[in-house]
């Protein structure tokens, strides 16, 4: 247990040390690249902003991610159960996913003018539902027929088979996708926060750091984002342990 915490903490310390060394060895001034030792003052100076903006970013990301879970699972169920729907929807989904989401920022901010919260949540959702939809779809469509037959032979309804077999069997794939989606959702949120004029959230704080040439602040924002990303990722792992802990193999 101690090793489980000590190992990653040590790895982070080594990383920060190398970063510090890199900046020091090259003699870079902090308007070229800030070093880890510049960050604590930056965090302290803007501590209130970090809390309010960090909260803005976090709740909008989580809201977008939850939308992505609901919508992605629904789409996944549709393409998982119906061949016709799969053939029809796959090209659309892949095409949509291939569009760089930055190009959609002006589109949605024109459609929903001034709805900053809504736009941010929407972007977090749009960027993160795809992995969930695909993995749930694949999980359901690759369910071995025998698994269905053991209940179907007893006259169980499609819904019962879904609830007792297909749904739990797909959970490991679902959580695998959710880990990818959680980090993607942050990218979506920040995209809107950075690009929108007078935005809020950590992205907006980054933007203001850039405008004012406050490089330590910009790096501090990046570290804060990384930290939030890690927190959300481990929250997903925590849920995975509860709902799909059975899929973990001993000594894996």
Closest CB 154 distance from another protein, rounded Å: 5
* Contacts (CB under 8 A) with another protein, residues 222-251: 244, 246-247, 249
Site string for another protein, 39-78 (x = CB under 8 A): ----------------------------------------
CA dist 147 to 78, 151, 176, Å? 19, 7, 22
Of 36 and 168, nearer to another protein (C-beta) is 168
Closest CB 81 distance from another protein, rounded Å: 18
Distance spanning both ends of the chain, measured CA to CA: 16
Side-chain-side CA neighbours of residue 8 (13 Å): 5
What per-residue string of b and e applies to 8-26 under the rule 16 or more CB within 10 Å gives b? eeeeeeeeeeebeeebeee
Closest CB 103 distance from another protein, rounded Å: 42
Closest CB 71 distance from another protein, rounded Å: 25
Of 165 and 228, nearer to another protein (C-beta) is 165
What is d(CA 66, CA 61) in angstroms, rounded to the nearest whole number?
Answer: 9
Of 33 and 151, nearer to another protein (C-beta) is 151
Query: Do 42 and 174 touch, CB atoms closer than 8 A?
Result: no
What is d(CA 153, CA 155) in angstroms, rounded to the nearest whole number?
Answer: 5
* Contacts (CB under 8 A) with another protein, residues 148-187: 149-156, 160, 164-165, 168-169, 171
What is d(CA 252, CA 172) in angstroms, rounded to the nearest whole number?
Answer: 15
Residues that bind another protein (CB under 8 A): 144, 146-147, 149-156, 160, 164-165, 168-169, 171, 244, 246-247, 249
């Amino acid at each position: 247990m101690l090793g489980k915490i000590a190992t990653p903490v040590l790895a982070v310390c080594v990383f920060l040390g190398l970063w510090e060394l890199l900046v020091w060895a090259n003699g870079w001034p902090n308007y070229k690249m800030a070093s880890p030792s510049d960050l604590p003052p930056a965090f302290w100076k803007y501590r209130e902003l970090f809390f309010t903006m960090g909260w803005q970013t976090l709740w909008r990301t989580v809201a977008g991610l939850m939308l992505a879970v609901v919508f992605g699972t629904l789409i996944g169920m549709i393409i998982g159960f119906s061949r016709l729907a799969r053939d029809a929807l796959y090209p659309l989904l892949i095409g949509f996913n291939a569009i760089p989401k930055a190009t959609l920022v002006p589109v949605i901010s024109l459609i929903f003018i001034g709805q900053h919260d809504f736009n941010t949540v929407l972007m977090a959702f749009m960027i993160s539902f795809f992995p969930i939809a695909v993995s749930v779809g694949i999980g359901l469509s690759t369910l071995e027929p025998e698994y269905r037959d053991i209940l179907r032979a007893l006259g169980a309804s499609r819904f019962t088979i879904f609830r007792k077999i297909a749904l739990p069997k797909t959970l490991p794939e679902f959580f695998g996708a959710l880990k990818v989606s959680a980090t993607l959702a942050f990218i979506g949120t920040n995209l809107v926060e950075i690009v929108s004029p007078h935005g809020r959230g950590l992205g907006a704080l980054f933007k203001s750091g850039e405008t004012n040439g406050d490089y330590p602040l910009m790096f501090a924002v990046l570290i804060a984002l990384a930290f939030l990303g890690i927190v959300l990722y481990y929250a997903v792992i925590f849920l995975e342990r509860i709902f799909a802990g059975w899929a973990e193999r001993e000594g894996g």
